[in-house]
Amino acid sequence: MSDELVIDVTGLTKSFGARKVVDNFDLKVPRGAIYGFLGPNGSGKTTTIRMVCGLLKPEAGQGRVLGFDVLHESLRIKERVGYMTQKFSLYEDLSIRENLEFIARLYGLDRRKARVDHALEDLGLAERQTQLAGKLSGGWKQRLALAACMIHEPEVLLLDEPTAGVDPKARRDFWDAIRRYAAQGVTTLVSTHYMDEAVQCDSIAYIAYGKKLLDSHTADIPKQIGLSAWRIEGRPLIDVQHALEADPRVELVARFGAAIHACAREPVPLEAAVRSRASGASACGDQQNRGRLR
C-alpha cells in the first residue's frame, strides 16, 4: 500500500426526492488499500460507491478518482474501475466463458482469448467454463462476477456486499483473491455486514442515515470507540445474558456462539456487573480490563 491517494473526494451529497441519502461524505483512500463500508441497510453505502465510480453524479461535493474529476470525467473513471453489484448481473443463459468474452468485447480489449483464459485460471473457473451461469451456486457466481470485474485490469475495485448469501469457504476464497489484488496495487472499496470481513480491511468507515460516523484504520477503532468488553463462557448462559441485559452498568450484550460479550464505556462498573451477574461462569476481559472470572 502506497501513500498515493487513488480516491480523494470531499462533501459528496446525494438526495432522492426529499430524502438525503448521502450527506457531506469525505473519503481518502491510498493505492492498494482495502477500505470497508459498514452500516445498516439504507445507510447510503451503495449510493456512495456509485458516486465514486461515476455511475451517479453527486449534487454537491468534489474530488478526484485516479486523477479524474468525479463531476466532469466520470467516463474516464468508469473505464478504470471494476464494479461488482450486490445482485448477480451477468447473463444466466450464457456460459462462464461466454460471459467473460462478452465483457471483454464491451471494453474493446485486445488479446481477448488470453485475457479470458487468465481470468478463468486466476479464479479457478477453467474447469467449469462451459457451464451456464444460471446453473452456478452463489459462491461460483461470485467468482464469475469478480472475474468479470477484473478482466480489464482495473485500478479500483468496488464491491457491494459481495459475499452475501455464500458459504464460509467461498467467502475465504474471495478474500484471498482481494488481498492478492491489493498486493498488486488494486485499491478496493467493499461494503459488508460481516464483522469478520470488516476486520480484514485496512480501514473502515461506519455510515448511518447518510452520514459517516467513523472513519479510521481498523486497528485504531477499538481505542477510538472506548469500549471495554468481557467474554463470558459456561452453560447455561441464558440467565446470565438476561441479567446482564437488565443491568444499567452494561451497555451492550451480544451472543457469539457459545459465549456472551458484555460491553460498556466504563470499565470498573462493567467488571462489577460481570462479577455479580456471571457467578459460576468463566469470563475474561479485554486489554483495557484484564482478568478472569471463575
Domain boundary assignment for the chain: 5-223, 226-293
Quickly state the pLDDT bin for 290 (edges 50, 70, 90).
very low
- pLDDT digit string, tens, across residues 67-99: 999 999 999 998 899 999 888 889 999 999 999
Share of the chain above pLDDT 90, in %: 53
- 14-20: average pLDDT: 90
- 272-281: average pLDDT: 79
Compute the Cα dihedral for 140, 142, 145, 150 and give only its sign.
negative
Fold of 226-293: Alpha-Beta Plaits (3.30.70)
- 57-76: average pLDDT: 92
Query: What pLDDT, on a 0 to 100 scale, did the predictor assign at position 41?
Result: 83
CB 94 within 8 A of CB 102: yes
What is the C-alpha to C-alpha distance for residues 157 and 150, in angstroms, rounded to an integer? Answer: 8
- 177-204: average pLDDT: 88
Query: What pLDDT, on a 0 to 100 scale, did the predictor assign at position 95?
Result: 97
User: Beta strand 259-264 with 228-233: parallel, antiparallel or unpaired?
Assistant: antiparallel
What is the C-alpha to C-alpha distance for residues 113 and 104, in angstroms, rounded to an integer? Answer: 9
- 253-278: average pLDDT: 88
Cell numbers placing 206: 461506519
User: Residues, the chain, total?
Assistant: 294
Quickly state the pLDDT bin for 285 (edges 50, 70, 90).
low
pTM for this prediction:
0.81
State the chain's mean pLDDT as an integer: 87
Query: What pLDDT, on a 0 to 100 scale, did the predictor assign at position 76?
Result: 92
- pLDDT digit string, tens, across residues 106-142: 999 999 999 999 999 999 999 999 999 999 988 899 9
CATH class of 5-223: alpha beta
CB 75 within 8 A of CB 54: yes
What is the C-alpha to C-alpha distance for residues 80 and 268, in angstroms, rounded to an integer? Answer: 52
Cite the beta strand spans of the chain per DSSP E: 5-16, 19-30, 34-38, 60-65, 68-69, 81-84, 156-160, 187-191, 203-208, 211-217, 228-233, 252-256, 259-264, 282-285, 292-293
Query: What pLDDT, on a 0 to 100 scale, did the predictor assign at position 105?
Result: 94
For residues 289 and 91, which has the higher predicted lDDT (pLDDT)?
A: 91
- pLDDT digit string, tens, across residues 146-171: 999 999 999 999 998 888 777 888 88
Could you tell me which residues come within 8 angstroms of residue 179 by beta carbon, excluding any fewer than 6 positions away?
34, 200
